[in-house]
Every structure is written in C-alpha cells, then in structure tokens.
Amino acid sequence: MFAINPFAALSASISPAVMQTYVVVMIVLVVAGTLFEVVHKGSAKYFFQNMRKAKGARALGGGEFVSIAVQTAVVDVLASGEFCNARRRIAHLLGMYGFVLYVLATAVLVFNPAAGAIWAQLWWLGGLMVCVGGYWFWFFIRVDVAAEGNSPFRVVRADLFILSMLASATLGLVWAWVQAKGGAGVYVLFGLYILATTVLFAGVPWSKFAHMFFKPAAAFEKRITRAD
C-alpha cells in the first residue's frame, strides 16, 4: 500500500491532466498570495524595517558575508534555530520537513504516475511527519494552550495555515488508506482532501504561509545588522 501511487489509481475516473492543472493552479495561488502579502499588506516591511534603520559601522567583507549566509541557511533555516524551546523546535522541524516531502512527492506522483515506489513512500512519510509535528504542537505546545490554559479547540484566523495543512495531510492519508483497502466513501474523502488543500494554498493572503519565505531573509538581515 505504501509503495502505490494513490493518484495513479484515480486516472480511471479523473484525467491526469486535470490533476496536473490543479497542482499548477495551486502554485500560481501561492505566488499570487505571497505577492499580495508583499505589495498590499506590507508584511515584508515588518521583516525588513531594521535594514532601513540600521547603520553599519563598517562594511562587511566577502568572506564574512558568505559566512553569515551559510550560518543563516544552516542554523536559522535548516535547524530552525529561532526556537529556544526544544519541543517546539522538534515539532516545527517535523512539520517543516514533512511538508516539503509531502508537497514535493505530491507533485512528482501527479506529474509522473509511473514514478518509483520511493516517491509514494516519501509522500506517506511527509504526511505522517506533518501530522505528528502539527498535532503535537496544536494540542500540547501552543503558548495559549500550554501556558495560558486556553482550550486547544480555540481557533483564530492566524491558525488557518496550520489547520489547513493538518487537514490536507490527514485527509490525504485517510483517503489513500481507504482507497488502497477498497473501502467506501473514497470520492467523498478525496473531495474533502482537495477542499482542505485548496484552502491551504488559496488562503495565503489570510494565513502565515508566506512567512516561510520572509523569515529566512529576515534572519539573514538580522545577522548582517549584528555583524555591522
């Protein structure tokens, strides 16, 4: 089951071209939503305002510049160094790498139905990592739940990204499981999976999705300012 492309099984009822078009549309929505954040909401200004205010005492050399870029990529991006709490960092890393695997494997499986079994396995692994990291964070690590004692079911608009991501991964895995077992309700589950995924990628202007693009640049700028 874990080695079978779940999207290939849909080809008898849904054209691969339709699924491929859907993936392209989702990519366009992410780009458009991110540009909306930058131009209309001014979110990028929040991350880069220190760049305009900071006045460096000296010019950085080429070696220092490269060193800071490497530190930013390794510590702030790949290792999520911004999180001091170990549990939150682990949960974030599970969700981040899981989401990357999940999205990348989805694109490969949709555009290449004959892709090797490893891609189907990576799709399952990515989805499971998203669920483990996301649900762990949602129910046990969130500040308003762990420290302030609020209900874990309290939802605000800022939660749109993580909730839609969890819904997409969860419904995707359940749909693939039911489809492989030949159970009923496959198309209902697939429809819910598509709905959650659409909310995830179409909701960029109203969620924190675009922040994943801003934060690495902001971390780099912060390190440059400190070095200056």
pLDDT at 144: 61
**Could you give the dihedral angle defined by the CA atoms of residues 202, 206, 211 and 214, in that order, rounded to the nearest 10 degrees?**
90
The CA–CA distances, whole Å, from 176 to 109, 173, 205 equal 13, 5, 29
pLDDT at 11: 80
pLDDT at 158: 74
pLDDT at 140: 83
pLDDT at 202: 92
CA dist 108 and 153 (Å) reads 34
Rounded to 5°, angle at Cα 86 from 83 and 88: 60
CA dist 62 and 160 (Å) reads 41
Question: Residue 129 in contact with residue 12, Cβ under 8 Å?
Answer: no
Which residues does 75 contact at the CB level (< 8 Å), separation at least 6? 81
Amino acid, single-letter form, for residue 226? R
pLDDT at 85: 76
Which residues does 21 contact at the CB level (< 8 Å), separation at least 6? none
Each residue's pLDDT tens digit in the chain (228 positions)?
Answer: 788 899 998 887 889 999 999 999 999 999 888 888 777 766 566 656 655 565 555 566 667 767 777 766 666 666 666 666 778 889 888 999 999 999 999 999 999 988 889 999 999 999 999 999 999 988 888 766 555 556 666 777 778 889 999 999 999 999 999 999 888 889 999 999 999 999 999 988 877 766 676 676 666 677 677 776
The number of beta carbons lying within 10 Å of the beta carbon of residue 53 is 8
Amino acid, single-letter form, for residue 119? W
Question: Residue 4 in contact with residue 179, Cβ under 8 Å?
Answer: no
